[in-house]
A and B are shown apart, each in its own frame.
Chain A
Amino acid sequence: VIFRFQAANSSPILYSGSRLWSDCVNKRRVIIGGVLAVAIITTAIIVWVKSRPNQTPGGPSAGGVTVVTAAGQDPVSLDPAKLADTESSPFVSAVFAPLALVNPAGELVYVLAESVEMSADAMQATVVLRANAKFSDRSPVTAADVRWSLERVFRMHPQRYVLERVAGIKDATSATVHAAGFQIVNDRTLVVRFDRPDPEWPRLIATTFAGIVKSGSDEGPKLPLDRGLIGAGPFKLKDVEPGHKYLFERNPGFPLDHGLASLEIRILANEQEMARQAESGGLNLLRVRGNLVREIAVRQGASLQLRPGFRKKRLERLAGQDLLFLRINWQDAAFKDVPPERRRAWADALGASIDRAALAEKLYLSTAVPASTVVPSSGAAISPPAGGSGGPITTGTKIELVTGAVGELRQVSDLVASNLRSGALTMQVDVRLLPIGDLIQRLFAPNYQVALLWLESNLSPPGLSWGTFFTPGGISALAEPLPQTPAMLDAARSTADPAKRQLLLAGLLDDINRTQTALVPLVRREAVYLVGDELSGPGADFNGIQQFSLLGAKR
């Protein structure tokens, strides 16, 4: 391109494009002008963005309320019989519903069952299913499905003890061989006979892993998340983006009228991002754990107040069944020479060095309370077995404290280590934060000295569930197997008279608190939920665990 310039009364001057740029244009002015233009445009965009009105998604739509919540990671599986971790629990509870659940008030709420009646001698239960309970493929939930699901739980789930008293359950080794104790009366009625009294059975199976699955739906090809299994929960899995989000649509066959249209669970490993999305209205339901409490609320006297940014939301606090504790590994070389009669005294001394009140107040903003006993106490005075402190563990002992590199545990472990270093024992403490998988490996090996752990009970009723942590085998590696607990647990479980059963359970709990030596209780944490105003509640059970079957829209 040639540019031609000609002034009046003069000959023309020809320029090529590049000569024009290099000889005639003030480049500095062009660049300064360009920068100014970019700055003006950027400012205009910012002003436009900031002046846009705020909108809140997740509100009521034509088909009901959309629930948007967040989880820290993907579920292991949606199969209730494979449920082992509390992270997977909300996903499973969205798709599968059990016969009943226990609400935060401790009452049995029937979900798929219309009733579960126990006989007076607690040797038989009659389950009547709701007539309108249907799976997500529109087929009705039948007694055969309930039998198939419960037998499957017994075959596959480690907490099979909830079904161990059903007559002949051990013979149900495959899907075609059934326990003699299950008798199908008609499509809606199942009679369950026990070989020993089991009065708490309806509450024992009122849990997520006892969710009802359509019989035979596990026979297809194996799919990710075991999503081929058909449930009768409030939602049906619609779409998955692993590591990002899970979309669920309403199951029209769910028998309870919850008024919810759909569910979205976002995977957000970053707690800050969780708080940010909740603040900007992106989430209308969120379990607030540990450090997240500080992000969304401030302490005002005895109560917690939401920060101003969290509009149209409220905080709901449930007691939960949770314990943060230290686990001492007496088998470790550093401790194995401590005589058993001195262990409890030493564990108590360890606990006394830790400022539990400061832990509850500073780290949890009062959403936790100091714990003086390992399991909930009946109120009776605890007198631990006699035995002095001292022995091989003395002041200045060096220990390694292991814990999971998750949530607020790094702050808790720092505070505990600081207390132990400066307390009466003046211990030398090395803190090691481990990925959860490694922590589990070391717990079960066992290869640790002291571990900072937490228990989130996902069972009911609480007396029996706490007892299982102190029964040899299974998950007792997290707590401590006590030799007398199985017999006491068995006696309490078998007693048909409610008052006497409560007395035996209280005795069991007191015995655990009195005799255990390996656990140092720190705090009991509440289950705290951030709930949108369009929802009636957090939809949690009495353990504080998310149960979408209990969630509903505000009427």
Chain B
Amino acid sequence: LSPAANEDFAATRLLAAILRRLVVYALFLLILHAALFSIFLALPSAAATIAGMRGVDPEFRQRIRHELGEDLSWMQRYGNHLARCAQLDFGETLRGSFPVGALLKRGLARSLPLFAAVGVGALAGAVTPLWLSVPRRSWRRWKRVIGESFLLPPFVLAAVAYALFRWLSQDMPLDAQAPLRWCIALLAAAAFPFVLTAGLATPVCDELAASRFTQTYRAIGLSWPVIRLRLLRNLWQILLPGLARVMLLAILSTAFIEWLFDINGFGALALRAFVSVDFNLMFACCMVAGALVMLFSAAERWQAE
């Protein structure tokens, strides 16, 4: 092939790969939607719950079933639901009849600082062992502590943070507690991914510190900070496939932190959906979580390809 034809061929292949990936993701979302729809259809429905709360009068029950479109056939309901989901309309909440889409949007926006803290924590967790590992002999004791600290479950960290918050805020007016509440919640959100990625990164960093190219860098006169920066790139390449899972676990831990610190974000919303058996909200939260999984796996896959 001529260079021009070669470029065209490469571009076509890239386009085909992107399209193939998009089709796979669309299929994944469709299957996820169908699975969730089937599960929620098999469970006692939200309509029946409401009707139950209002007594067993068949007239009331029938009217509520009609309002919720539950008197249609299975296929009609599935089609309607799919069409609404495609427009990001997930219906209304069981309690209050709030639009689920708007609630999700607000919840995700409120959780953004916590998600950012998770990202910063994960990055710091990857970088710290590198700094402590290179030069190889420094900070061995600290490395061990950090390397083993990933065994700490997230709720222990969150509970410690909450205890600290309670202690600091016990004499403060409630309104004045908000900044402190946020600061400690952000620290708690960052702490879990920090120890998790630090635990994963420590052995890798030890290997990098002992590697031949590190010795070569040193031999050609590069300073330690420069060597660390170069090694960070190598570390990133190694950790990236696992980082998606780390981030997901960390995001789950933010749900716990939101509940503990009374932050009305996405995690708290999802917890509330499951506690109050709000089917529309549960469905939407599962779809968002599924889309997040897809997003992270896409990044992972992209790197692999």
Q: Are B171 and A50 in contact (CB under 8 A)?
A: yes
Is A167 an interface residue when CB atoms closer than 8 A count as contact?
no
> A57 near B175 (CB under 8 angstroms)?
yes
Is there an interface contact between A277 and B56, defined as CB atoms closer than 8 Å?
A: no
Q: How far is the CA of A86 from the CA of B226 in the complex (A)?
A: 65
Size class of the contact patch on chain B: 35 or more
Q: Are B49 and A441 in contact (CB under 8 A)?
A: yes
Interface string of A424-444 (1 = CB under 8 A from B): 000000000001111011011
A261-294 CB mask vs B (1 if < 8 Å, else 0) is 0000000111001001101111000000000000
A441 touches B52 (CB 8 A): yes
Contacts of B275 in A (CB 8 A): 269, 435
**Separation of A84 and B49 alpha carbons in the complex (Å):** 12
One of A73-81, A249-257, A496-504, A542-550 at the interface: A73-81
Is residue A224 contacting chain B, with contact meaning CB distance below 8 A? yes
- Are A474 and B55 in contact, CB atoms less than 8 angstroms apart? yes
Q: With the chains together, A258 CA to B122 CA distance in Å?
A: 54
Interface membership of A10, Cβ < 8 A = no
User: How far apart sit A85 and B94, CA to CA, in the bound complex (Å)?
Assistant: 13
Contacts of B223 in A (CB 8 A): 16, 18-19, 21-22
Which one of B55, B93, B171, B264 contacts A241 once the chains associate, using CB atoms below 8 Å? B264
Within 8 A of B (CB), among A224-254: 224-226, 240-244
Tell me, in angstroms, the Cα distance from A19 to B222 when the chains sit together: 9
Q: How far is the CB of B187 from chain A (nearest CB, A)?
A: 11
What mask results when residues 12 to 39 of chain B are scored 1 for a CB within 8 Å of chain A, else 0?
0000000000000000000000000000
Query: For the complex, is B287 an interface residue (Cβ under 8 Å from A)?
Result: no
Q: Is there contact, CB below 8 Å, between A438 and B277?
A: yes
Residue of B nearest to A439 (CB): B52
Which residue of B has the minimal Cβ distance to A441?
B44
Choice from A57, A309, A437 contacting B174 with Cβ under 8 Å: A57
**How many angstroms from the CA of A52 to the CA of B92 in the assembled complex?**
44
**Distance of A77 Cα from B93 Cα, bound (Å):** 11
Knowing A21-B223, A22-B223, A270-B259, say if A440 contacts B174 (CB, 8 Å): no
Residues of A contacting B171 in the complex (Cβ-Cβ under 8 angstroms): 50, 52, 54, 280
A-side contacts of B124, CB under 8 Å: none
Q: Which of B162-221 contact A (CB under 8 A)?
A: 166, 168-177, 180
A257 vs B249: C-alpha distance when bound (angstroms)? 54
Q: Cβ of A443: which chain B residues have Cβ within 8 Å of it?
A: 52
Q: Which residue, of A50, A73, A226, A280, has the highest number of chain B Cβ atoms within 10 A?
A: A280
The answer to whether A280 and B57 have CB atoms under 8 Å apart is: no
Q: Name the contact of A77 in the complex, choosing from B96, B170, B180 (C-beta under 8 A).
A: B96
Q: From A246, which residue of chain B is reached at the shortest CB distance?
A: B96
Contact across chains for A158 and B55 when beta carbons are under 8 A apart: yes
Query: Is A13 on the interface with B (CB-CB < 8 A)?
Result: no
A76–B44 touching, CB < 8 Å: no
Not counting A50-B168, A52-B171, A52-B172, a sample of 16 additional A-B residue pairs whose C-beta atoms are within 8 angstroms of each other reads A18-B223, A22-B223, A22-B224, A50-B171, A54-B171, A54-B172, A54-B173, A75-B95, A224-B99, A242-B98, A243-B272, A269-B259, A273-B262, A436-B276, A441-B44, A474-B56
Q: Which 9 A-B pairs have the closest CB atoms?
A: A282-B174, A158-B55, A18-B223, A437-B49, A440-B52, A244-B264, A437-B277, A74-B95, A55-B173
Tell me the B residues contacting A by CB distance below 8 Å. 44, 46, 48-50, 52-57, 60, 92-99, 103, 166, 168-177, 180, 223-226, 259-260, 262, 264, 268-269, 272, 275-277
